Amino acid sequence: MSAHILVIDDERDIRELVRDILVDEGYEVSVAEDAQEARNARRLRRPDLVLMDVWMPDTDGITLLREWTQQEGGFDTPVIMISGHGTVETAVEAIRLGAYDFVEKPLSLSKLLLSVQRALEARKLQRENLDLRRQGHTLVEPIGDSTVMRDLRAQAQRIARHNAWVLITGEPGVGKELLARYLHFSSPRREGPFIEAGIATIAAENAVSALFGAEQGSKVYYGFLEQANSGTLFLGEVGDMDAAVQAKLLGALENRSFVRVGGREPVQFDARVVAATHSDLQAHIAAGRFREDLYYQLNVVPVRVPPLREHSDDVPQLIDYYADLFVRQENLPQRRFSAAAKQRLRAHPWPGNVRELKNLVQRLLILGSGEEISLGEVERALGGRSKQTAGMSINLDEPLRTVRMEFERAYFEHQINVVGGNVSDIAQRAGIERTHFYRKLRMLGIKLKHDL
């Protein structure tokens, strides 16, 4: 996918020369002759790079750069400043404000093209590093040599060659986001961004602006959909989506455009949408909680990620991967699982799927000692958690309300341990609404480390 470059220069000859050269190099280019046109161009479409003259008739480039960098939400687009009357002070101020480079006129086109290439590469690397920090590890391929996982990877590779939208389903913790990343990095869009929009993490009142962006005067906030231009937008847990967001998303998908909150002009977008859910969307449709027309827009290509119990032969390989990961990532002591311990874990039903396995491996490395993790240690780790509910001591002479609260506290603490604190997952497993679940936690005095 071609990068979109905004060229801002009040000299028409230079503007058109730079545009033509960049177009010949395969870039998409918009042009503006002054700051106001630049604001309008940026409002219409988010650029991947800005080439901006310092001296312009209305607002100079340094002032415009300062205006953009001070906007709420930040300004992460690389900027190359151009000047025919540059001074050291001007160059230093531009770099201080975040400009990637400062190029003097008369332009050396070869130097300009090299600066453009390096700026785009630096932005891509910065985005990938941020993505890896958010993800916590470098895994971009579903692990497993079982027939089930080989078939899943083969299916994903076939789908990745096309641009159709995908709906990924599966139980909590199976790795739906991981499969979405695998689709992205196996596709022609791999050079573009992978933007994750976890619906359950966005407050309902902020969801529309978070997804579609917002405008306030000259200020523009780019939502997830625009951030994913030329790449992939991953919509996690779409079953939790508010009705207003569903309606606006449907319109955006049908028209390939949308209007930002507070905006007037439609914004075009070019992003592949990959949605995921653990919910039964057909049941949500029947209950009036999810739009049927949106379901068919998202469900062009359905993919199901199997639970871990359906490919338990991959458990030893997953154990080795996460054990090595935590040793490298968190400097935990190197410990190997005994053959008996691995066999026991293969037989475990894994209600929390791969997420539960990952958490168990981390806990055993942190709390255990010695070079080998034994069968007994694994049994205690698995059994200790279940006894928290099944083997708990309840005083039956207490009032019913007290006994019920003790049981519910133990029950929800167990569910949090199993699924890793994901509010939507726990609420579904418990069969209650998310809002009711939050009230339960407050009443029982249980605090989550994070709300996903």
- Rounded (10°) angle between helices 423-430 and 400-419: 130
Kindly report the pTM of this predicted structure.
0.71
423: nearest Cα among 403, 401, 451: 451
Tell me the pLDDT of the chain averaged across its residues. 85
pLDDT band at 390 (very low <50, low <70, confident <90, very high): very low
Q: List, as one string, the DSSP characters of 272-317.
A: EEEEEESS-HHHHHHTTSS-HHHHHHHTTEEEEPPPGGGGGGGHHH
Contact indicator for 430, 441 with CB cutoff of 8 Å: no
Provide the CATH topology of domain 4-132: Rossmann fold (3.40.50)
Domain spanning 308-387: which CATH class is it, in words?
A: mainly alpha
Predicted pLDDT of residue 420? 64
Q: What is the pLDDT of residue 135?
A: 53
Residue 180 has pLDDT above 70, yes or no: yes
pLDDT of residue 435: 74
The answer to whether residues 188 and 1 touch, using CB atoms and an 8 Å cutoff, is yes
| pLDDT for the residue numbered 89 | 80
Residue 29's nearest CA partner among 1, 55, 59, 49 is: 49
Q: What is the pLDDT of residues 290-347, one digit of tens each?
A: 999 999 999 999 999 999 999 999 999 999 999 998 998 888 889 999 999 999 999 9
What would the pLDDT profile of 72-91 be if each residue is shown by its tens digit? 556 778 999 998 776 778 88
Pairing of strands 257-258, 267-268: antiparallel
Domain 136-304 fold: Rossmann fold (3.40.50)
pLDDT digits (tens, 9 = 90+) for 246-297: 999 999 999 999 999 999 889 999 999 999 999 999 999 999 999 999 999 9
Could you give the 3-state DSSP secondary structure of residue 374? coil
Q: What angle in degrees, to the nearest 10, is found between the helix axes of 375-387 and 339-347?
A: 30
CB 301 within 8 A of CB 273: no
Check pLDDT > 70 for residue 62: yes
What is the Rg, in whole angstroms, of the alpha carbon atoms belonging to the chain?
Answer: 26
8 exposure class (CB count in 10 Å sphere: 0-12, 13-18, 19+): buried
Q: Which residues have CB under 8 Å from 103's CB, separation 6+?
A: 80, 81, 82, 83, 111, 112, 115
**Cβ atoms within 10 A of the Cβ of 258, count?**
23
